[in-house]
Each structure stands twice: as C-alpha cells, then as structure tokens.
C-alpha cells in the first residue's frame, strides 16, 4: 500500500477544506493508498510558499520521506506562480515523490503526468526568458534617457565625451556638474576611466 499525504488549501477563513478532504480521502480509498499525513491551510494564494506554515511542514516531511506521493486538490496549491510551481515540482522529483492532482487528473507516476511536468518546465523557462528580455529592453530605454535605474546613473557615451572634454578644458568636477546633471562620483569615475585608458 502506497503511503501518501494530502495538501489542502483554501484562501479565506470563510472557506473550508472539508470538501477537498472528503473527495481526496475517497480517492485514496478507491486506489488503496494509505494516508499518513494531512496538511491543511487557510492562506491567501498570493503568499509565497516560504510563508506557508503547513506547506513548509509538508516539505520537511517530504525530505524525511514520510510518504511516497503527494495528493493535492489542484496544482495551483503548489505555488502562486509558475516559478514556485516548478520549484515545488522539482523538489518532489528530486526526492522521488510522485504527485497526483485531483482537478487536473494528473499523476506523475504515468507518462501523461511526466509529460505535464516537462511542459511546465518549458513554459517556466520561456516565462523567465521573456522577463529577462523585457528587463533588458527597459534598462536600455532608461540608459538612452540618461535616467537612474536601481540607484545607478546610466550615462550615454555622448555625455561621457562631454565630461572628458570639459575636464580637458580645465573645469573642476563641480563646474562640470553645473553643466551636466550627473553626480560628482559619476564624473570622477568617467575621468578616472579616461586617465586609465
């Protein structure tokens, strides 16, 4: 008899995990699973997994291999976004713990379930790449506008050339700052880089 655990979550105190528990216990009875632990949570779907007390307890028990399969009502119980979902699925896979999701009728013990895991990994990587591309475009736009990003001045080559020319003309850092609106430390860095090259 396979040892399993149930992870039950609802988002508000006005909801109850009773219906989820009843359905999942009936499923376990039909499949002859031995339920060794039930993790019940009332926690917002926007909370990070690290902030979920029962979820953390479930992960600790998983690492101790107290059970062989995790049964959830729906895969969205495993994370608030794709990144958290992938992280949880990967942990389960690392510890050779299978997953069954009732709503999606998904079981990672069969080929369809493993294919789901594979596709989720692909979409997660795709989502990460899109985010990186958007970030690059945004940083480049800020750089071209000579604005701050993350507390740093982005200084175009045109402004750097002006700083260097003004310094060659004999102006002090403060006088250069009066003409070009960048920090004194940025002016100093530009001049130092020029002197090193």
Q: Are strands 106-107 and 152-153 parallel, antiparallel or unpaired?
A: unpaired
Q: With a threshold of 0.85, does the pTM exceed it? A: no
> What is residue 70's predicted lDDT score, i.e. its pLDDT?
97
The per-residue pLDDT for 157 is 78
CA distance 5 to 122: 27
CATH number of 3-124: 3.40.50.1390
**Structural contact between residues 22 and 5, judged by C-beta atoms closer than 8 angstroms:** no
pLDDT, residue 189, reads 85
The list of the chain residues with pLDDT below 50 reads none
Q: Please give the Cα distance from 147 to 155 (Å, whole number).
A: 8
Q: Which CATH class is domain 145-196?
A: mainly alpha
Residues with Cβ within 8 Å of 48's Cβ and at least 6 positions away in sequence, in order, are 80, 84
User: What is the rounded (10 degree) CA torsion for 178, 174, 152, 190?
Assistant: 110
Which pLDDT score, from 0 to 100, does residue 82 have? 76
pLDDT of residue 142: 65
* Domain positions in the chain: 3-124, 145-196
Sequence-separated (6 or more) residues with CB below 8 Å from residue 141: none
Phi then psi dihedrals of residue 72, to 5 deg: -125, 160
170: left (phi over 0), alpha (psi -120 to 50) or beta: left
Residue 114 backbone phi and psi in degrees, to 5: -65, -35
* Contact status, residue 182 vs residue 155, Cβ threshold 8 Å: yes
- Separation between Cα atoms, residue 23 and residue 193, nearest integer Å: 68
């Amino acid at each position: 008899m396979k040892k399993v655990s149930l992870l039950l979550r609802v988002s508000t105190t006005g909801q109850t995990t009773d219906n989820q528990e009843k359905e999942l216990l009936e499923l376990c009875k039909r499949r002859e699973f031995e339920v060794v632990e039930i993790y019940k949570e009332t926690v917002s779907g926007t909370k990070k997994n690290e902030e979920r007390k029962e979820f953390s307890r479930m992960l600790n028990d998983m690492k101790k291999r107290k059970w062989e399969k995790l049964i959830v009502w729906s895969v969205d119980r495993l994370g608030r976004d794709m990144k958290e979902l992938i992280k949880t699925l990967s942990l389960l896979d690392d510890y050779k713990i299978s997953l069954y999701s009732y709503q999606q009728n998904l079981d990672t013990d069969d080929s369809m379930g493993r294919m789901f895991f594979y596709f989720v990994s692909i979409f997660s990587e795709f989502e990460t790449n899109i985010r990186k591309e958007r970030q690059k475009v945004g940083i480049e736009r800020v750089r071209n506008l000579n604005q701050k990003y993350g507390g740093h001045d982005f200084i175009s080559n045109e402004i750097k050339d002006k700083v260097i020319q003004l310094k060659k003309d004999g102006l002090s850092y403060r006088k250069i700052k009066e003409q070009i609106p960048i920090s004194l430390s940025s002016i100093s860095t530009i001049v130092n880089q020029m002197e090193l090259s």
